[in-house]
A and B are shown apart, each in its own frame.
Chain A
């Protein structure tokens, strides 16, 4: 198992994941700007995480977003992934530490994924580093484990009276791109939807790892994120979260061994691509 974890991988799938993560981070920087500008308004309550952090201001907002956007684009392009990735990570960490109101779970997730992309040397195979040198497998595995951890704890924390009764959904299923039908806004139906959401997240946490269920998990996950992004506000933020999670899905297929019936073909395929 340990030997397998330390074996290298072909760079292609991670390269595509890096492009999508970079694009998601770039899009998220633009979504962050209005929040940062509003936070710089003197009439708005500041909730600093640390006293020594600078007070939000308009110049700070523009500088932070410029660095964030620039480094995210460079990461997507694969330019000096260690430099662009660590710069993006710094911008995300700054955003998370600036104020309690600038925290978001998907930003926290993005920071971890960017860190692991840097560790895995995800620039290989990009336009700026076209060498098809292999990348480390173990950080890619950690990125995949991160996805399962997010789904699992997201499900476990929803097992409370407030969520399962449909009360939370009644509040958040409004102002989405597609209005939630009022006729379905009943405690009974919202309770069923809430239970379904918990079951779906638990299923995704495990099914992505199982070859026989992986394709179903891909479809269920894509539909789940699409539904959430369309029915709930804020659609753009939820869209970025969906992009982040779905960008990692293909890694489950490319990194893990295929189903047992196809296992014989795997070594030949790997060696034909010149990997040790």
Chain B
């Protein structure tokens, strides 16, 4: 298999010939480890009721069910997370994101309510 562009082929060949100097290797190792230990540690000690991205917080918290409901002139309708999200996750700030969306997505929406609060459309 050959590359379509000679310039690209040359760039790939140069990259394959790249050799790390000891100083560069040690620097990259130190930066990598510092990042990999610091970021999850900071997120671990950040007070939060839900998971945090980039912190390896896998299944540490359940995906919450805020119990969203849309109030229209016709009455109140419960809305499940699967109806509005492509992929519900425990690290999504649902209270901030879902109510404004429901106000625009549901015709005639007056208010969005959930267990912890309500949002006027």
Contact = CB atoms under 8 A, between A and B. Distances in A.
Interface in A125-173: 128-129, 136, 138, 141-142, 145-146, 149-150, 153-154, 156-158, 160, 162-163, 167-169, 171-172
B32 A142 contact: yes
A178 to B, nearest CB: 17
B37 interface: yes
Interface residues of B, number: 44
Contacts of B20: 119, 136, 138
Given A6-B22, A163-B60, A168-B59, A80 B3 contact: yes
A168 B57 CA distance: 13
Given A108-B54, A154-B57, A149 B28 contact: no
Interface string A202-229: 0000000000000000000000000000
Contacts of B97: 45, 47
A105 B63 contact: no
Given A43-B105, A138-B29, A145-B36, A103 B44 contact: no
Contacts of B117: none
B16 A121 contact: yes
B116 to A, nearest CB: 16
Contact of B60 (A102, A138, A160): A160
Contacts of B37: 149
Interface string B12-29: 100110101010011011
A162 B97 CA distance: 23
A200 interface: no
B42 to A, nearest CB: 11
Contacts of B22: 2, 6
A100 B40 contact: no
B58 A154 contact: yes
Interface of A: 2, 5-6, 35, 38-39, 41, 43-45, 47, 79-80, 82-83, 99-103, 105, 108-109, 119, 121, 123, 128-129, 136, 138, 141-142, 145-146, 149-150, 153-154, 156-158, 160, 162-163, 167-169, 171-172, 232
10 contacts: A2-B22, A6-B22, A6-B25, A44-B86, A47-B97, A105-B56, A145-B33, A157-B57, A157-B60, A168-B60
Interface of B: 1, 3, 8, 12, 15-16, 18, 20, 22, 25-26, 28-29, 32-33, 36-37, 40-41, 44, 51, 53-63, 84-89, 91-92, 97-98, 101, 105
